[in-house]
Amino acid sequence: WTPEEDAKLLRMVAQYGPSSWSQIAQHLPGRVGKQCRERWHNHLSPEDRLILQAVAEHGTKWALIVKLIPGRTDNAIKNRWNSATRK
């Protein structure tokens, strides 16, 4: 993935939402929906970046981090962090 493709993927996800992968892929020549979805979830998700930044700042104090990420439980955040850091 080029930086230009990443930028376009971010714009398309902002426009269509993180679920219309076939529609998003139409704007990225040579890419299919599955590639776009995996790139988003594995490398570009803003929520993942927020979790990683929060852990860097606060350590693994999930009860504190949960206040920074609405809509997720402390256990969900911990599980996502564990999954993201294993890659």
- pLDDT, tens digit (0-9, with 9 covering 90-100), for 3-39: 899 999 999 998 999 899 999 999 999 999 999 999 9
- pLDDT, tens digit (0-9, with 9 covering 90-100), for 31-49: 999 999 999 988 888 888 8
Angle between helices 74-85 and 46-58 (to 10 degrees): 100
Query: Could you give the angle at the alpha carbon of 40 between the alpha carbons of 26 and 68, nearest 5°?
Result: 140
- The closest alpha carbon to 7, from 43, 54, 34, belongs to 43
Q: Spell out the residues 6+ positions from residue 50 whose beta carbon is closer than 8 angstroms to its own.
A: 68, 69
Residue 82's pLDDT is 86
Residue 43's pLDDT is 84
For the chain, give the mean pLDDT. 90
**Domains present along the chain, CATH in parentheses:** 3-44 (1.10.10.60), 46-85 (1.10.10.60)
